Amino acid sequence: RKFLQCIFHKKIQATNRNCEVTADVRHDGSEPLVDVMFADGERLIMKGANLTTIEMLTALRIRCNAKDSKEEQKSRKKNP
């Protein structure tokens, strides 16, 4: 829940208007799970029972930064 609070914060959402966040909260006793689907089809699945909020946010940030770096490299190759 803390992770969702961070993601739904206005300042975070303002950094990427193309980001769509959908929450599926279940009360069936299953393990907390965060499933992130990126625009390129790649997924990041984090099991919340084993991670802190900071660890989940860090993992998401690292993955997003890596994707940004790949996009920058592709654009540099296209526009030398």
Q: What is the secondary structure of 7-25 as a DSSP string?
A: HTSHHHHHT-TT-------
CATH number at residue 54: 3.40.30.10
Domains identified in the chain, total number: 1
More confident: 20 or 35:
35
More confident: 72 or 54:
54
pLDDT band of residue 54 (cuts 50, 70, 90) is very high
Q: Specify whether the CB–CB gap between 48 and 33 falls below 8 A.
A: yes
Boundaries of domain holding 24: 1-77
Is the pLDDT score of 17 beyond 80? no
- What's the pLDDT score for residue 75? 75
- Average of pLDDT values for 41-62? 90
**Are β-strands 43-47 and 33-37 bridged in parallel, bridged antiparallel, or unpaired?**
antiparallel
pTM of the model: 0.75
